[in-house]
């Protein structure tokens, strides 16, 4: 059976997120997924991470909740062919489960990811992260480069190395917590690049609509899931770039609900190089 929440008709994986997360089994612990061509060409890193997490979750008992993922982008994905996700059951513990996923296409591996799952424990729940004082999504212009999610970017306040914005997946996801985690993983690859680019000295000004004089690609990506969340509700992502070195920008950030609950943390390195065309 396809790996998908058991509700609703099958849609188009190029326009429907639930359909995109419908992975077809191709042998033991092996799944195949599809995706669209994105505006910049090729596949979107967030899609590959989300589908890899979906494949990992398909091999885990439902009482385990997604705890974290750590991914390396190895090659650029090709939208003209499917992606094969091979899952390795690294560890089955009583409270933690670990999975390793390799995403492959004809050129070889395009992503390597480890994912951790945990059974929720009754323990201290304390939050020190504070949501920054920004405009709500209802007061901002809504724009997005994909039909998969809606987004409302917070205008820059003059501080470089920052990107902030509201994100919400489009469509009904039901109550499957793994599917909501996959949706957050999909969206979490968006604002880190903006934070790194905003620190670059060659970035264009607000009135300059020309292309950037450089290209940017995600190198590696980490995501920690702290508390249950619904990706079809609005969440604020607040990213900060901690510096640029050796063509890499290192970014960290938090994800908050509208009420200020800290539900996830994100870290990513972005490769930034001058265009050669």
Hey, which bits of the chain come out as E strands?
24-25, 30-33, 65-73, 83-92, 96-105, 108-118, 149-153, 162-169, 214-225, 235-245, 248-257, 262-274
Domain membership of residue 3 (yes or no) is no
- pLDDT attached to residue 164: 96
Domain membership of residue 5 (yes or no) is no
Domain membership of residue 33 (yes or no) is yes
Domain membership of residue 8 (yes or no) is no
- pLDDT attached to residue 207: 55
Tell me the percentage of the chain whose pLDDT exceeds 70. Answer: 91
Domain membership of residue 209 (yes or no) is yes
Q: Which domain holds residue 179?
A: 17-120+136-274
Domain membership of residue 7 (yes or no) is no
Domain membership of residue 1 (yes or no) is no
142 secondary structure, DSSP code? -
pLDDT tens-digit series, residues 12-54: 666 789 999 999 999 999 999 998 877 777 889 999 999 999 9
Residue 194 pLDDT exceeds 70? yes
Mean pLDDT of 109-113: 97
pLDDT tens-digit series, residues 140-151: 999 988 889 999
- pLDDT attached to residue 212: 62
How many angstroms separate the CA atoms of 266 and 222, rounded?
A: 6
* CATH at residue 258: 2.40.160.210
Q: Which residue has the higher pLDDT, 102 or 147?
A: 102
Domain membership of residue 10 (yes or no) is no
Total number of domains constituting the chain: 1
Give me the helices (H) in 125-171, please.
none
């Amino acid at each position: 059976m396809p790996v998908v929440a058991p509700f609703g008709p099958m849609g188009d994986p190029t326009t429907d997120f639930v359909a995109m997360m419908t992975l077809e089994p191709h042998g033991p612990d092996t799944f195949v997924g599809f995706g669209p061509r994105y505006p910049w060409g090729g596949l979107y890193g967030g899609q590959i991470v989300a589908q890899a997490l979906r494949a990992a979750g398909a091999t885990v008992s439902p009482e385990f909740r997604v705890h974290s993922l750590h991914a390396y982008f190895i090659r650029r994905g090709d939208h003209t062919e499917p992606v094969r996700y091979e899952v390795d059951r690294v560890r089955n513990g009583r409270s933690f489960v670990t999975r390793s996923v390799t995403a492959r296409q004809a050129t070889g591996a395009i992503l390597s990811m480890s994912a951790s799952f945990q059974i929720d424990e009754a323990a201290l729940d304390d939050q020190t992260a504070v949501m920054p004082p920004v405009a709500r999504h209802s007061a901002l212009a809504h724009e997005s480069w994909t039909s998969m999610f809606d987004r409302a970017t917070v205008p820059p306040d003059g501080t470089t190395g920052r990107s902030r914005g509201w994100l919400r997946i489009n469509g009904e996801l039901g109550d499957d917590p793994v599917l909501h985690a996959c949706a957050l993983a999909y969206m979490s690859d968006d604002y880190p690049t903006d934070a790194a680019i905003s620190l670059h000295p060659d970035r264009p000004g607000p009135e300059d609509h020309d292309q950037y004089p450089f290209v940017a690609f995600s190198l590696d990506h980490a995501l920690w899931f702290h508390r249950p969340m619904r990706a079809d509700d609005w969440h604020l992502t607040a990213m900060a770039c901690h510096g640029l070195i050796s063509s890499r920008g290192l970014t960290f950030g938090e994800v908050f609900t509208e009420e200020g609950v800290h539900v996830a943390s994100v870290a990513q390195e972005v490769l930034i190089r001058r265009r050669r065309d």
